[in-house]
Chains A and B, each alone.
Chain A
Amino acid sequence: QVQLVQSGAEVKKPGASVKVSCKASGYTFTSYDINWVRQATGQGLEWMGWMNPNSGNTGYAQKFQGRVTMTRNTSISTAYMELSSLRSEDTAVYYCARAAGIDPWGQGTLVTVSS
């Protein structure tokens, strides 16, 4: 079945960067975009951007422009989301999700930013 499996929880200090991975299985990785969405504790869903795994083309929400980078390694069907200059407000669960239809979702990766 189609599955997205994300990397484990991270704890980072303010100003650092974090890189979250999302490994796809059960379908052809390069055939569907990957989106990244985050959710602060007790809050709603916030779209961060998308990446086309075939071309590597990306599109980022304005809020994250300059701080987020989405990449991929097609040989291992894995997408990555790197967020830099972390601040406490970036503490959240980060999800990857397939395609513009946003289905299915990964299990989420908790990123905690704390000094």
Chain B
Amino acid sequence: DVVMTQSPLSLPVTLGQPASISCRSSQSLVYSDGNTYLNWFQQRPGQSPRRLIYKVSNRDSGVPDRFSGSGSGTDFTLKISRVEAEDVGVYYCMQGTHWLTFGGGTKVEIK
């Protein structure tokens, strides 16, 4: 199974400051069709997860442009350019290249 490792586990951030979450996979996520199936999800307290980013860097409709995804191969990053109060929650990366597996999650909280 592909193991997804996220860091940090917890990320206290000052409002208006940037935040960055790392996600590493135990093997390359490049599929035979040339795509890399790496998604990012946000789960606010008490809510279902919501997809923010698909295929590494594509923002879903309605997702603020302060969220961005980057990376390749086995190394990926989610960045929030300026954290807002509504960004509090747990963020998960997920790979869909070799079946599906999720990272352990990163809790974003306001300092």
Chain A interface (Cβ within 8 Å of chain B)?
35, 37, 44-47, 50, 59, 61-62, 95, 100-108
Cβ 8 A contact of A102, one of B1, B100, B103, B105? B100
Closest to A62 in B: B1
Q: Separation in Å of the A73 CB from the closest CB of chain B?
A: 23
Main secondary structure of the interface of A (DSSP, over half): loop
Q: Separation in Å of the B35 CB from the closest CB of chain A?
A: 11
Main secondary structure of the interface of B (DSSP, over half): loop
Cβ-defined contact, B41 with A102, below 8 A: yes
A48 and B95 CA atoms in complex are apart in Å by: 14
Cβ-defined contact, B37 with A100, below 8 A: yes
Cβ-defined contact, A101 with B48, below 8 A: no
Cβ-defined contact, A100 with B100, below 8 A: yes
